[in-house]
Amino acid sequence: MAYPTGTLRARSIVLAVALVTLSAFILSGCTSLRVNTHTTAVEGKPAGDAPTNIVFLIGDGMGVSHVTAAKIELGTLHMERLTAGGFITTFAGNRLVTDSAASGTAFATGHKTYNGAISVSPDKEPLKTVLEYAEERGLATGLVATCSITHATPAVFAAHVENRQNEKEIARQMTASGVDVLFGGGWSYFLPNSEPGGARTDGLNLLDELRERMPVALTVTEFRSLPDTDAAVALFYPGHPPTVASREPSLAELTRRALEILSRDEDGFFVMIEGSQIDWAGHENDHDWLMDEMADFDEAVGVVMDFAETDGRTLVIVTADHETGAYSVLDGSLERNLVTRPDFGSGDHSAAMVPVLAYGPGSAAFGGMQDNTDLGRTLIGYVNRGSSR
């Protein structure tokens, strides 16, 4: 993938790093670090006006150095358009280093749990999610990902299972959840094995069940031909989509269509949008792939920011569920927009804090340093509080 060329002033890099580090404290102040292990329902304390819409973007595995490298190679990021920021701690309930299931559960429910859990407590009891609170309030809801829609991060918002590997049960619960937009991969988990490519052994055809409520697209052509609608499913691959180099549609295109659909609901909406394969590139210690996925994710952030800046009632949050790769930037060239010495200290997740950036009504609540459960409780608080229109 070709990136912009030209000379960058060193100050632009300093500003980029400041956006995800020191400026968080200057802009919004620092809160005390809290690691929450409760399982009782507690809302966060929203600051300022409540938003009508919430767009929650997760760059899976995206740490501060991932953002720094993308800033160097891309020049200007859409993430720079967000105006508040800070740090998130990501620890799981049973491990210092989290997986996406436990960290996603913290975001979705405001509670710590064990690695592998999909929105269930350490005692394996269901934990109500922000998407379920949004459905209860009559908001439109959506999940968009560049992985199978039944994978851990999207799953935690619409399902409750003891083990993230149980993707067929996750698909069944997603189908019953009432979610209005499902965009990603993973159609095999929705089809019986009597159908070509189907993975289900219980005979259920969940795609037919979904078709009773909304249009279902399984190809790019069908997706781009979706009618004006209040809800839609688009699952383009039987499992995970390929890497961004051969993946279509882009996350930005999926995001734009999701916003068009969800914004038809006058009560507002909640949507989670994940750049899933940033994490996978980190696991593979592949810098070029990582930068491609960061560019794809940042373009989706740009689509959201265009919408939010025009709308004026939309809260945008950009963060990560954890850091992957113990990644760092050791050298590069500002003149050539190039990282020349990327370094990976691990092929797995790390316990490093991750950046959180926010824009719009309520964004001040995400400044400073907090735990992932704090962020989740604040999201739930905003959904339950609603906005006076």
- Which are the contacts of 20, defined by CB distance < 8 A and separation ≥ 6? 64, 67, 68, 85, 355, 357
| Between 352 and 48, residue with greater pLDDT | 352
CA distance 161 to 158: 10
**Model confidence pLDDT, tens digit, residues 246-263:** 999 999 999 999 999 999
The label of the residue with tokens 């829609």 reads 149
DSSP-assigned states of every residue in 88-124: EE---SS-SS--HHHHHHHHHHS----TT-BSB-TT-
pLDDT of amino acid 42: 46
Angle of helix 251-262 versus helix 287-311 axis, rounded to 10: 20
Beta bridge partners of 327: 344
The torsion defined by the Cα of 171, 315, 128 and 321, in degrees rounded to 10, comes to 70
Of 306, 87, 271, whose CA–CA distance to 181 is shortest?
271
Q: Which domains does the chain have, with CATH numbers?
A: 12-385 (3.40.720.10)
**Model confidence pLDDT, tens digit, residues 80-122:** 999 999 999 999 999 999 999 999 999 999 999 999 999 999 9
Q: Which two tokens stand for residue 158?
A: 């619409």
**Model confidence pLDDT, tens digit, residues 165-219:** 999 999 999 999 999 999 999 999 999 999 999 999 999 999 999 999 999 999 9
pLDDT of amino acid 385: 86
Q: What's the rounded mean pLDDT across residues 282-295?
A: 98
Question: Which residue among the candidates 12, 32, 65, 100 is catalytic per the annotation?
Answer: 100
pLDDT of amino acid 361: 97
- Say yes or no to pLDDT of 124 above 60: yes
Told to judge if 32 belongs to the known catalytic residues of this protein, a careful annotator would answer: no
